[in-house]
Chains A and B, each alone.
Chain A
Amino acid sequence: MSNRLPIAEGLFTWPAKKPALLGSRCDRCGIASFPAAQSCMACGSQEVTVEELPSRGTLWTWTVQQFMPKSPYNSGETPETFRPYGVGYLELPGGVRVEGRLTESDPRKLRVGMAMDVVFDTWRTEPNGDEIVSFFFQPVA
């Protein structure tokens, strides 16, 4: 029997009715970061609180990865099946700019400032049938 598993524990709520990215916010200086950390990158305080990050933001910058990365890239693709993918930083209101893969890889359809949603989908399927789930940024329809 196959399972659906998150790519890493603590990156986002999963499984959940409305999954969300998990960041941490410093209780002292208010700075948020992703993924959730045990201390604040700005001031070093260890008083941080994990919180769900907003699910919609704007694309701050982007590129398209046109060549297949070397290991540790692990998508289940081969050089023959590799497909270029978009990457960008999504600016989340009140939070941070989070880096992630985009569901869109056509440079003609990507522009700075466009609205995108954080979505969760299968990233790869393991040989034993387990589906590994990750987060992606998807243009708002």
Chain B
Amino acid sequence: MDVAIIGIGMHPFGRTPARSGLQQGAYAARLALKDAGIEWRDIEFAFGGSASAGNADALGNELGLTGIPFINVANGCATGGSSLMTACSAIRSGAHDIGLVAGFDKHDRGAFNADPGDWGLGQWYGELGLMITTQFFAMKIQRYMHDYGISENTLARVAEKAFINGSLNPNAWRRTPVAVEDIAGAIMVNNPLTKYMFCSPSEGGVALVLCRADKAKHYCAKPVYLKSAVLKSRRYGSFEVFAPSQALQQAEGPTVDASRAAFEMAGVGPRDIDVIQLQDTESGAEVMHMAENGFCEHGEQEQLIQSGATRIGGSMPINTDGGCLANGEPIGASGLRQVYENVLQLRGEAGARQVPGNPQLGYTHVYGAPGISAVTILQR
């Protein structure tokens, strides 16, 4: 049983002081239901999550208490991907025909401050100032630049593109282009990454209505089909965040594993993909994730990014909505934002940022602590 996405809704990302995270989730859910042309009472089940804005099943208080099974999902940056994968299984199994996936969040300003105890680590790790995600990303790209000859200018180019794409997206947080010199010359946060090369924790909500593929046309003129939704966790030896030590022999990370499984499940390859959303919590992540997801060889990113291949009009458009860099990261909603964007692109409804050439296949990827990755492949 294939699964289709028949409704999408989004609350703009950024900062919305007047609305709680939950209200932003409800806003997105109402839009998704409207887009599918159905009512909340038509929904048979729901999966949802937020990291900092409460239990997703409190959406029932906003939308109406209908008695459906609503499962709260908490899986870090892969919360949205986990909800989607599980909802997909619920439909494929035949247990349900139509359901809702929702993610929302509302974070405090500044970097996340994770508690070592929650991750099986001693308090000393946090006391010493090592429990910081930005450090990990900086150290990963630092080594990658050393190994594969990626330049600092290329890191700035990634952020430049993100803000250009964000300027074309009415739902984005950062909608003003920033000159590449200003990105490169901004204050350093974690060498080699400057302020503009990092995304910030933010707010927002996304919801999707899913149904059995054979019933999709009943609701929606342009359903988009979920060809694969895969979640993987780290194997021993991959270089991961929140790790007091790493193996001497490196293994492939969860992104590589999730990507390969998703391509296999969908029966397509990286060259078939027309529009790509990759986790870009910082510039270096987008660079590394291009290769980890199979879209190029390690080191080829330098030439691809410098030549404009990853821009909207390029041969492999990446993060067409501005990605995390322009949208910020409301953890519960972030992965679903990528799916929302690809559905728009595949419907041909992405407006000023529409990828040309009638895209058929879209790819999304998230990565998060402590080494998890979720990938989806969508087809129109």
Residue of A35, A89, A99, A100 near B122 (CB, 8 A) is: A35
| Contact indicator B190/A33 (Cβ below 8 Å) | no
- B158-200 vs A, Cβ < 8 Å mask (1 yes, 0 no): 0000000000000000000000000000011111100000000
- Measured in the bound complex, the distance between the Cα atoms of B122 and A85 in whole Å is 21
Which of A31, A66, A67, A73 touches B126 (beta carbons < 8 Å)? A73
Contact present for A69 and B139 (CB under 8 Å): no
Give the contacts of B123-158 with A (CB-CB under 8 A): 123-124, 126-132, 135, 138-140, 142-143, 146
Q: Does A11 contact B (CB under 8 A)?
A: yes
User: With a CB–CB cut-off of 8 A, which chain B residues contact A74?
Assistant: 126-127
Point out the residues of chain B lying under 8 angstroms from A112, CB to CB.
Answer: 142-143, 146
| Cβ A101 vs Cβ B142 within 8 A | no
Give the Cβ gap from A23 to chain B, nearest Cβ, in Å. 7
In the bound complex, how far is the Cα of B139 from the Cα of A98, in angstroms? 13
Q: Which of the four size classes fits the interface of chain B?
A: 35 or more
Query: In the complex, what residues of A have CB within 8 A of residue B244's CB?
Result: 34-35, 98-99
Among A42, A63, A75, A134, contact of B139 (Cβ-Cβ < 8 Å): A63
Q: Are B243 and A99 in contact (CB under 8 A)?
A: yes
Q: Which residues of A contact B306 (CB under 8 A)?
A: none
Which residues of chain A come closer than 8 Å to B18, judged between CB atoms? Answer: none
Query: How far, in Å, is A61 (CB) from chain B's closest CB?
Result: 4
Give the Cβ gap from A93 to chain B, nearest Cβ, in Å.
Answer: 9
A14 contacts partner chain B, Cβ-Cβ < 8 Å: no
Cβ contact within 8 Å between B127 and A42: no
Q: Are A62 and B139 in contact (CB under 8 A)?
A: yes
Instruction: Tell me if B135 and A65 are in contact (CB < 8 A).
Output: yes
A97 touches B247 (CB 8 A): yes
Residues of chain A with a CB closer than 8 A to B135's CB: 63, 65, 87
- Residues 44-60 of chain A: 1 if any B CB is under 8 Å from the residue's CB, otherwise 0? 00000000000000001
Q: Is B95 an interface residue (CB 8 A)?
A: no
Whether B191 contacts A42 by the Cβ 8 Å rule is no
A123 touches B248 (CB 8 A): no
**A89-108 interface (Cβ within 8 A of B):** 89, 91, 95-101, 107
B236 touches A (CB below 8 Å):
yes
What is the CB-to-nearest-CB distance from B156 to chain A, in angstroms, rounded to a whole number? Answer: 17
Task: List CB contacts (< 8 Å) of A9-42 with chain B.
Answer: 11, 23, 31-35, 41-42
Q: Is B246 an interface residue (CB 8 A)?
A: yes
Q: Which of B130, B188, B237 contacts A42 (CB 8 A)?
A: B237
Picked from B124, B187, B188, B236, the residue with its CB within 8 Å of the CB of A11 is: B124
A61 and B190 CA atoms in complex are apart in Å by 13
Given the interface contacts A67-B111, A96-B247, A99-B245, does A73 sit within 8 Å of B236 by beta carbon? Answer: no
Complex: chain A residue closest to B121, CB-CB: A35
B115 CB–A CB distance under 8 Å:
yes
Cβ–Cβ contact A71 & B113, under 8 A = yes
A84 CB, min distance to chain B CBs, angstroms:
9
For A7, list chain B residues within 8 Å (CB): 124, 127-128
B110 is an interface residue with CB less than 8 A from chain A = yes
A119 CB within 8 Å of chain B: no
B317 on the A face (CB < 8 A): no
Give chain A nearest CB distance to B155 CB in angstroms.
13
- Could you tell me if B129 and A85 are in contact, using CB atoms closer than 8 angstroms? yes
CB pair A63 B142 closer than 8 Å = yes
Task: Judge whether B187 and A91 touch: CB under 8 Å.
Answer: no
A8 within 8 A of B: yes
Q: A101 to B110: give the CA distance in the assembly, Å.
A: 22
Nearest B residue (CB) for A34 = B245
Interchain CB contact under 8 A, B245 and A42: no
* Closest Cβ neighbor of A75 among chain B residues: B129
Interface flags, B226-269, vs A, CB<8A=1, else 0: 00000000001100000111111000000000000000000000
Note all chain B residues with C-beta closer than 8 A to A107.
191
Residue B294 lies at the interface, judged by CB distance under 8 Å to chain A: no
A60-B143, A96-B246 known; A101 and B129 CB under 8 Å? yes
List, sorted by A's number, 26 A–B pairs whose CB atoms are closer than 8 Å. Answer: A7-B127, A8-B123, A8-B124, A11-B122, A34-B245, A61-B142, A62-B142, A63-B135, A63-B139, A63-B192, A65-B129, A66-B188, A66-B189, A67-B111, A69-B113, A70-B111, A72-B115, A72-B116, A72-B131, A73-B128, A73-B131, A97-B247, A99-B244, A100-B130, A101-B130, A112-B142
- Which residues from chain A sit less than 8 Å from chain B, CB to CB? 7-8, 11, 23, 31-35, 41-43, 60-67, 69-75, 85, 87-89, 91, 95-101, 107, 112, 123, 134
* 4 nearest A-B residue pairs (beta carbon): A72-B126, A63-B138, A61-B143, A70-B113
Given contacts A31-B236, A73-B126, A87-B129, 20 further A-B contacts (CB under 8 A): A7-B127, A7-B128, A11-B122, A33-B245, A35-B244, A41-B236, A60-B143, A61-B139, A62-B191, A65-B190, A67-B111, A69-B113, A69-B132, A70-B111, A73-B131, A89-B246, A97-B246, A98-B244, A107-B191, A134-B128
